[in-house]
A and B are shown apart, each in its own frame.
Chain A
Amino acid sequence: MDIIRMEGITKGYPDHPVLNDLNLSIKKGECFTLLGPSGCGKTVLMRLIAGFETPDAGRIYIDDTPVADLADHIDVPTENRGLGVVFQDYAVWPHMTVFENIAYPLKIAKVPKDELKKRVMEMVDIVGMNGLDKRYPSELSGGQQQRVALARALVGKPSLMLLDEPLSNLDANLREEMRFEIKELQRKLGVTVLYVTHDQEIGLAISDRVAIMDANGNIQQIGTPWEIFEKPVNPFVFNFMGIANFIDVRRENGAFLVGNGNQQMPWPTLPEGDTNKWVAGFRPSDVNISRDGAGLRGIVRRANFLGATMDYLVEIDGTHLRTAIETHHAIAKDLVLKAGDQCSIEFTALHWFEAEQLKGVHEE
């Protein structure tokens, strides 16, 4: 069953359209991540669901009840949508203690004192803030403030929690720790989570499903993290999921030739379609480099020693790709190359896209 259904949502600001005729459904109980580059409109989408903004057109349903529909003059205010929201800047109230912050939703709901206290202390325990409940936010670290914000969003037992880049203000270690805690909380409390972020690692790590949004506010692909990573529908999605190489491949007389040269693409499955211009997309880790083994012949144009890995930029008949090799491996196999050295390239994984699709990807 869908907890959120958005139909034909359009939202724009003067001289700046954000979302156009967007459709999206989120299933009850899942952890759903909306992933996109900054400025793509993902935060606007979340704010529309929360009711901080109203759509210019389209309908939003929460639990099959319309909450926003301009045509029918429906605009349920935020406080009646029954959500928990966690903001990027935590939005913990500086004039209230940790306890008061977490208790606020219950106070508004007029929960009796004893029960309020019990539930708040339960939440304090769940987010690991025992003993800190009498502190003010100014006495807490960023990570602790974010825990307070999480507890506050969860204490009212909302069926849906919205998180807008909640970890982006935390340092890398804390971010990693917190993302598993959020996932753990979601499983424990059975709440539906809509997580908005530009960080694909978090998206892949905690989500049941992921939606990839492009810079123009269009959803490019929705699927499980595996599907998104392994079967990207287009170069944008592929590129967004990590550093990607794209090399030009042209079809001439049934043969697939790399760049402007005459070497055939060493890959068993070749694309089918009318167009003659293709690109092969692959990650640096999907490349095997050798001095004179089988595969495409190329020239190392730049070699960087990055400590644990060596990073090579290789040119093959006018087209470039990047590959990385572990340094100790490179030493053992005599693969410490330098600019100007000849080399051979093979692939272990590869995706075909039409060259037409590539347009715009690198401009992001």
Chain B
Amino acid sequence: MSAQIKQKSSFGVAQIILFLSIAILVIVVAFPVLLILFNAFWVEDHFDFANTISILKQPATYEALMNSIIIASMSTVGSTIVGTFFAWLVTRTDIPYHNFMKSMFLVPFMLPSFIGAIAWKMLLSPNAGLINKFFMENFGFDGPIFNIYSYYGISAVEIMYLFPFVFIQVCGALERMDPTLEESARISGAGLMTITRKITIPLVMPSILSGALLIMLYSMAHFGTVAVLGIERGIYNIPVLIYERIHQSGGSFDSIRLGAILATVLVISAAIIIWAQRKILSTGHYQIIGGKSFRPTQLKLRGLRIPMMLFCFAYIGFTIVLPTVIIFLVGGLSTYGLPFTPENLSLDNYKFILFDFDVTRDAIFNSVTLGFTAAVITMFAGVMISYVIVKMKVRGKGILEFLGMLPFSVPGSVIALGVILAWSGQFGINLYNTVWIILVAYIARYMAFSLKANSAALEQIHDSLVEAARACGATMWQSLKDIVLPLVKPGMLAAFFLIFLPSLRELTVSIMLYAPTTRTIGVAIYTLNEDGETVISCALAGIALIIIVLGQFVINHFSKKAGV
């Protein structure tokens, strides 16, 4: 056996992987974010905080800041109420068809909110909105019954698309909650209202808050809905103001600096929100909700059972079916504004955008190739980085763990600005106006998804499986290839689709980075709609919805097979 025993080479594979992982995260995420922070405070040749403050105090900036906060707060509160209520309804009452409703309430997760905003604009804009017009013409209303170009309108649309964040968290918590906790309160003589108030709500509170904070984070940095519904009446939030300024000035220094300052505000808010979320999730309350699945006791709705069911169906019909139908119908019209009669409707627009119109054809090609490339790269980078964080024992891992948290807390609009600062030639590489800058930004934006999916998969692979391979004579590389990769494949596949699908409808990042030839689907829908090409824009939105829904079916199929 002596012959078999060889000296270990000094070549440290572990160090190389660690170095690569750190390099990827630094280049893709940390460096752009640092540049933003630097630009926010650096004027000419020195740090100038007073200047930063004075820019924040400018009316336009200040207003955008306040708008972000107002809209985010309204959307968060509204989504939390809607999400918690529906979650309780489908998990804890005897409402009919609760499984069907549960999956329907998750549909908005798939739908891009800016497409929804476009639909609602067509339905509820003050003068041309179909619903408003219908009421004015038929019921003698003097003015619109609801103006979607308002804080309420914007928040309402955001609520429709964001409430699933709370819904899914609360459903999970309610389903996993030990029913004996409630039963023992019942035995002690507490009534149902008391139990709900004193036992159930405090127990699911961490889930509610954590979902609410996610919505807050998302809404503050959200571009699409505000851009579609707010600009008309001068309602700007932070990402929209950044976009408008940079777009109008063609990327002037002042606009970039303003963007950097506003982005810094977003980064800081995001950091606070993420910190608060972690704090909430680590409180003792959460441990009472175990991993086991119980059959919770259901509340009998009795007389309210049918009205509640009808209410849910009305909600689903009004917020999910109606806007989707409108998109497809308008996409079929020859001219926007014509009534939806058979002679006005055809598939011509769909044919046109798929085969003849180079803008939309390019956009579809760009989005698919960008999404695919970003998904593949991010999937592999993510599995490597997660491997170091979850499995490897190597010095310097702490840095990587810190860097690995960054992608979770950097909003899309910040990433877009960061890559402009980093890759526009100041550091020797100029990717501006090319498709590559969008690719880099996508990788940064979706790294968090990949890290999450891959870490989860890796955590399920027990260390002894790899050690057993090493004991069988496999080198580290062989054990990675033969054992780790095959077992982590479901996680990688999940990561791929988690990136590929959202990137098909991505708007926040691409809108900041696109050039005439590098439009993505999201950018094309948005700009066509801004240019008044409503029917074309809706047809493209319809195609996008079809691709997204089909993709979701593929995901569900694969994840069921892989048991993820």
Contact = CB atoms under 8 A, between A and B. Distances in A.
A341 B285 CA distance: 54
Contact of B4 (A82, A85, A152): A82
A142 to B, nearest CB: 15
Interface in B7-54: 7-8
Given A87-B468, A93-B483, A79 B5 contact: no
Interface string B369-391: 00000000000000000000000
Nearest to B468: A91
Contacts of B468: 85, 87, 91-93, 149, 152
Interface string B469-502: 1111111101000110011000000000000000
A162 B124 CA distance: 73
A50 B467 contact: yes
B302 interface: no
Given A65-B2, A91-B467, A79 B462 contact: no
A74 B464 contact: no
B1 interface: yes
Given A82-B1, A105-B472, A76 B467 contact: no
A348 interface: no
B465 interface: yes
A71 interface: no
A63 B4 CA distance: 11
B471 A95 contact: no
A235 interface: no
Nearest to A66: B5
Nearest to A78: B470
A82 B472 CA distance: 8
Nearest to B462: A89
A87 B7 contact: no
Given A91-B464, A95-B486, A76 B5 contact: yes
Given A79-B475, A89-B462, A108-B478, A52 B467 contact: yes
A299 interface: no
Contacts of B561: none
Nearest to A159: B1
Contacts of B7: 74, 76
Contacts of A67: 5
Contact of A153 (B2, B5, B471): B471
A104 B472 contact: yes
A80 B469 contact: no
A80 B482 contact: no
A213 to B, nearest CB: 22
A31 to B, nearest CB: 19
A52 to B, nearest CB: 6
Contacts of A153: 471
Contact of B464 (A89, A108, A109): A89
Given A77-B470, A108-B473, A91 B465 contact: yes
Contacts of A83: 471
B5 A85 contact: no
A156 B5 contact: no
A81 B469 contact: no
B6 interface: yes
Range for the number of chain B residues in contact with chain A: 20 to 34
A80 B471 contact: no
Contact of B8 (A52, A63, A76): A76
Nearest to B467: A52
Nearest to B465: A91
Range for the number of chain A residues in contact with chain B: 35 or more
A75 interface: yes
B483 A80 contact: no
Contacts of A81: 4-5
Contacts of B473: 79-80, 82, 105, 108-109, 156
B471 A78 contact: yes
A68 to B, nearest CB: 10
B467 A80 contact: no
Contacts of A162: 471
A78 B483 contact: no
Interface in A50-77: 50-52, 62-65, 67, 74-77
A63 B5 CA distance: 10
Contacts of B464: 87-89, 91
Contacts of B8: 74-77, 80
Interface centre among A75, A105, A159, A162 (most CB of B within 10 A): A105
Contact of B471 (A85, A94, A159): A85
B1 A62 contact: yes
B467 A87 contact: yes
A67 B469 CA distance: 19
Contacts of A95: 486-487
Nearest to A52: B467
A281 interface: no
Contacts of A36: none
B16 to A, nearest CB: 16
Contacts of B472: 79, 104-105, 108, 152, 156
Interface string A89-118: 101111100000000110011000000000
B472 to A, nearest CB: 4
A105 B6 CA distance: 18
A89 B462 CA distance: 9
Contact of B462 (A64, A91, A109, A149): A91
Contacts of A152: 468, 472
A84 interface: yes
Given A80-B8, A105-B472, 10 more contacts: A52-B467, A76-B6, A79-B470, A79-B471, A93-B468, A93-B483, A95-B486, A104-B469, A108-B473, A108-B474
Interface of B: 1-2, 4-8, 462, 464-465, 467-476, 478, 482-483, 486-487
27 contacts: A50-B467, A52-B467, A63-B1, A63-B2, A65-B1, A79-B470, A79-B471, A79-B475, A80-B4, A80-B5, A80-B6, A80-B473, A82-B4, A82-B5, A85-B468, A88-B464, A91-B464, A93-B469, A93-B487, A94-B487, A95-B486, A104-B472, A105-B472, A108-B473, A149-B468, A156-B473, A162-B471
Query: Lowest 6 A-B CB distances belong to which pairs?
Result: A85-B471, A91-B464, A105-B472, A78-B470, A91-B468, A108-B473
